[in-house]
Amino acid sequence: MADPSTNMRLRLGILCIILEVILIILFGTLVEYNEDTDAKHWNENGKHNESQYDNEFYFRYPSFQDVHVMIFVGFGFLMTFLQRYGFSSVGFNFLIAAFSLQWATLMQGFVHGLHHGKIQVGVTSMINADFCTGSVLISFGAVLGKTSPVQLLVMSIFEVTLFAVNEHILIGILKINDAGGSMTIHTFGAYFGLMVTRVLYRPNLDKSKHRNSSVYHSDLFAMIGTIYLWMFWPSFNSAITNYGDPQHRTAMNTYYSLASCTLATFAFSALVSPEGKLDMVHIQNAALAGGVAVGTAGEMMLTPFGSMIVGFLAGTISVLGYKYLTPVLEEKLKIQDTCGIHNLHGMPGVLGAVVGAVTAALASKDVYGDGLHRVFGASQSEGWTPASHGGRQGISLAVTMGMALIGGLITGFILKIPIYGAPPDTHCFEDTLYWEVPGEEEDQYVLAEVSTRNEVEKLNG
């Protein structure tokens, strides 16, 4: 029988209905199609006389599709490594992504400015909403298995709002470059999630330790997520860059960074093992760090050579982080990071921010020619210099870290209130708490539970 304290019948059902009703009302009041989407505007502005293919849809939608697959398939399956939490990994990912992309559309529209009192939406706003959702899913990885779906939805409300504010400060006010989101998406999502999981620290989580592990088939499922993310990451980083050479260059830089990162991951995974065996945790996660680390500088003249160096460094620090730093964070700082987001998104995100700041500071007319303003839009303003832009890039990292840590701290204390149906310490990382599990699987879970208890009793006896 399910634990009454975790019963989601009223908690989740009523919350989802209330949230969606509010979203529908707000969309009906505040949201409208943009010019490339609205029938009247598109057919009045004369663009259709040239070609219907001038519509932004044909330039951006392929990238949107790739990003969308990453959000729902890539992130979802990447988290299925837990042996008894597959339904929740994919299912809760689905739930909070579907909510977050709607809420992000509103929040990003509010902070970036209304157009005649309305939020205008099109394919670019869909991509940006998915980016924001990606940041929430990164934070989800830190609290995976230890939170209820109601807690995750509440976390999404606050994180999406803070994400939009931070993004506006960086992109709208400081005018920095971060097309692939090393700072706005990865660094923000990672340190927000790490702070939340620190506040929600469970001193008795070892009672669920036997569930906080993988089995052969669960790791195989997680690799599906890895491969999808790896393949589509060039689209993710280049999705909203300027058409032409910046977009082309971003995709290429990401492509080479990921390839170099993967070799570094395999190399160091073998090197840190006394027996020279590869660790699937490293391969599933660290091989993606190159995509994170090249996100800020991707559209700059980083060169394939530079991209490969960045990717190699990202893979190296990610593997070393999983091997040596994660245990220290849990033991010394009481940060229980289920998916190791600090190693995949946190440290590589900071690396990406630093690389972006240095690359921007070295920009020159000799290197970029007339394309300088297409990468650095602020370069046309009076008094702009590469050095000052590099400085703003560095300041943006500090702003992002501050927003993430303070926001995560506040959100963590809100989630700590015992009203959300969070799992007890003895039943974390367990699907049967929130899902109808097929009979055969449920029987296996019960047998495994009994077997584990017997082993513990023998050890204690």
Q: What is the CATH number of the domain that holds 303?
A: 1.10.3430.10
Measuring CA to CA, which residue among 194, 288, 273 is closest to residue 234? 288
Burial of 162 from C-beta contacts in 10 A (0-12 / 13-18 / 19+) = buried
Quote the pLDDT of residue 453. 54
- How far apart are the C-alpha atoms of 35 and 43, rounded to whole Å? 9
| Average pLDDT estimate for 77-103 | 97
Q: How would residue 21 be classed by pLDDT, with cut points 50, 70 and 90?
A: very high
For the beta carbon of residue 387, count every other beta carbon within 10 angstroms: 12
Average pLDDT of the segment spanning 126-136: 98
Binned at pLDDT 50, 70 and 90, residue 378 comes out as confident
Residue 306 lies in a domain: yes
Cα separation of 216 and 370, whole Å? Answer: 53
Taking only the tens place, the pLDDT of each residue in 391-445 is 999 999 999 999 999 999 999 999 999 999 999 999 999 999 999 998 755 555 5
- Please report whether residue 459 resides in a domain: no
Report yes or no on 382 lying in a domain.
no
CB contact at 8 A, 273 and 330:
no
Residues 6+ apart with CB under 8 A from 216: none
On whether residue 301 sits in a domain, the answer given is yes
Query: pTM of the entire structure?
Result: 0.94
> What's the confidence (pLDDT) of residue 441?
57
Burial class from Cβ neighbours inside 10 Å (0-12, 13-18, 19+) for residue 356 reads buried
| Percentage above 70 pLDDT, the chain | 93
Q: How many CA atoms lie within 13 A of 429 on its CB side?
A: 25
Is 96 within a domain? yes
The answer to whether residue 72 is domain-embedded is yes
Q: Answer yes or no: is 448 within a domain.
A: yes
If pLDDT is split at 50, 70 and 90, which confidence band does 51 have?
Answer: confident
DSSP-derived letter for residue 209 is T
d(CA 335, CA 313): 24
End-to-end Cα spacing for the chain = 29
**Which residue type is seen at 424?**
P
Count of structural domains within the chain: 1
Contact 316, 264 (CB under 8 A): yes
Question: Does any domain span residue 381?
Answer: no
Q: 427 lies in which domain range?
A: 4-44+55-364+414-452
**Least-confidence region, from 196-200, 260-264, 327-331, 450-454:** 450-454
Q: Which DSSP string corresponds to 331-383?
A: HHS----TT-HIIIIIHHHHHHHHHHHHHHHT--HHHHGGGHHHH-GGGGSTT
